[in-house]
Amino acid sequence: MRSVRVLVHLNNLALGGAQLNAVDIARTLRDRGHQPVLFAQGVDGPAPLVELAASHDLDLVVAGDPDTPHAVIRARLGRLADEHGSQLVHAWEVRAARNAYFGPGRQGRLPIVTTFYGIRMLRGMPRHQPLVLGLGALMPDARTFGHRDLRLIEPPVNTAEDAPGSVSGAAFRAEVGAGDGRLLLCIVTRLVSGLEKDAGVRRTMAAVRLLDDPSLVLAVVGGGPSEEPLRAEAARLNAELGREAIVLTGQRSDPRPAYQAADLVLGMGGSALRGLAFAKPVIVHGANGYSAIHEPGPLVEPHASRCMYGHGDGPADAKALAAQIRVLADDPDRRAELGSWGRDWVVGRFSLDHVSTAFEEIYRELLRQPPGRTAWLRDLEQMTRYEYVKPTARRLLTR
C-alpha cells in the first residue's frame, strides 16, 4: 500500500486505553511506511501521552487547554492538516470526531474514520463515514442510531512488547513488598469513576480485607481524580489488617513491570487484555459489582464483545470477588494453565499487527472512494443538533 498521510486526533492526553491504542497503531503504521501526525487538545496538569509519543518518535501537536473554544481547536487542527498534507483524519472518540467533522473534514474536504472504543453507544458522530467499534455488543445500537458504515475492530494488544519476560518484574515486587512466598494481585487502571473503575479497585481492596491472608499483596497502579480517596481507604484497611497489604504506586508511564510481576491481574478493557498477554490469569471487573474469572467457557465471547467488561446484578459487595481470588490463590497449576491459554487467546485475536492491517484497509477504501461533500451534508443536520442546538437548549433550561 502506498504511504498515507493520516492526521490522528487523540481523545485526550491521559494514559487510557483508547489513547494507548491510537499511539500503538500510529507507531505500527509509521513503521510500515505511512506518515501519521498526532493531535490533541491541551489539558490542565500532567500529559503523559506527550512523553510516550516522543519516546516512539511520533509527532504530536498539542493545542490550547480544556477551556479553549472548539472553534480555535478546529482551526488549529485544520492548519495542521494543511501543513502535514493529510489525506484523511482518524478521530478517536466523540469529541475528536466532531472536531474533525467541523474542522478539516468540513464540506467533505478530508474523509474521516472514527474509532469508538466505549462500552456504551453515544450519539453525535458522523453517520455516513466509517465508524469503527471495539465492542460487538454495540453494533445493534449503532445501527439504531443511523450509522451506515460500521466496522468491528477489537482493541489491539502489542503482543510483542506485552509478553512474558519482555521486562523484569523483580524490582516492582520488591517495591510493593511482595517477597518470596507472597502472591501479588495487580490492578493497572485510571483511578476514575467512569466505567466504575474506582469501584472495582475499592471492591478488590475490600476483598483483600475479607480474606485477611498475610500471603496476599494488592498493588494498584494508576492515577486520577479518585486516587486520594482510594489511598485513604487503603490506609484504613491496612491499619485494620496490621500490615501493608494494599499499595497504591501512582501512575507509571510503563506499567509492564507490574504485569510481569503479578501472579494475578484484575481489571477491565485493555488492562485485562495486557494481563492476558503477559500470560497471567485475569479476573474481569465491570459494573454493578461484576467480577468473573476469564477462562474457557461461556463467558469468553461476552467478555470479548464488551472489551473485557461485564454487568452485574448486585449486590456490589466483595464476597464473590474474594471467593474468586481465593480459588486462584490456592491453585498455582490453574493459574499457570489460565495464563498460557489467555496468552494464546490474545495473540490469536487481538494482536497489534492484525488490528493495524484492518485500519490500513479502511484507509485504502477511503482514499479510493472518499465519502465527499454529499456524505458530509447528509450528516450536517444531526451533527449540528448535537454540537450546537442541544447544548444551547441545556444552557437555557438551567438558567
| 395 has a pLDDT exceeding 90 | no
Residue-wise pLDDT for 326-345, tens only, equals: 999 999 999 999 999 999 99
Residue-wise pLDDT for 133-184, tens only, equals: 998 889 999 999 999 999 999 999 999 999 999 999 999 999 999 998 899 9
Q: Which domains does the chain have, with CATH numbers?
A: 5-156+351-397 (3.40.50.2000), 170-350 (3.40.50.2000)
Full-model pTM: 0.81
| 387 has a pLDDT exceeding 90 | no
Residue-wise pLDDT for 171-198, tens only, equals: 999 999 999 889 999 999 999 998 899 9
Q: Which three cell numbers stand for residue 270?
A: 485493555
pLDDT at 390: 65
Cβ contacts of residue 389 below 8 Å, gap of 6+?
A: none
Q: How many CA atoms lie within 13 A of 131 on its CB side?
A: 31
Mean pLDDT of the chain: 94
What is the spatial distance between Cα 159 and Cα 196, in angstroms, rounded to a whole number? 27
Q: Which amino acid is at 18?
A: A
Select from 116, 179, 107 the least CA-distant residue to 376: 107
Cβ contacts of residue 71 below 8 Å, gap of 6+?
A: none
How far, in whole angstroms, is CA 33 from its chain's centroid?
A: 26
Write out the chain in H/E/C secondary structure. CCCCEEEEECCCCCCCHHHHHHHHHHHHHHHCCCEEEEEEECCCCCCHHHHHHHHCCCCEEEECCCCCCHHHHHHHHHHHHHHHCCCEEEEECHHHHHHHHHCCCHHHCCCEEEEECCCCCCCCCCCCCCEEECCHHHHHHHHHCCCCCEEECCCCECCCCCCCCCCCCHHHHHHHCCCCCCEEEEEECCCCCHHHHHHHHHHHHHHHHHHCCCCEEEEEECCCCCHHHHHHHHHHHHHHHCCCCEEEEECCCCCHHHHHHCCEEEECHHHHHHHHHCCCCEEEEEECCCEEECCCCCCHHHHHHCCCCEECCCCCCCHHHHHHHHHHHCCHHHHHHHHHHHHHHHHHHHEHHHHHHHHHHHHHHHHHCCCHHHHHHHHHHHHHHHHHHHHHHHHHHCC
pLDDT at 253: 85
pLDDT at 393: 52
State the greatest distance between any 2 C-alpha atoms of the chain, in Å, as a whole number: 67
Q: Which amino acid is at 293?
A: I
**What is the gyration radius of the CA atoms in the chain, in angstroms?**
22
Residue-wise pLDDT for 40-95, tens only, equals: 999 888 888 999 999 999 999 999 999 999 999 999 999 999 999 999 999 999 99
Phi, psi of 34 (to 5 degrees): -85, 170
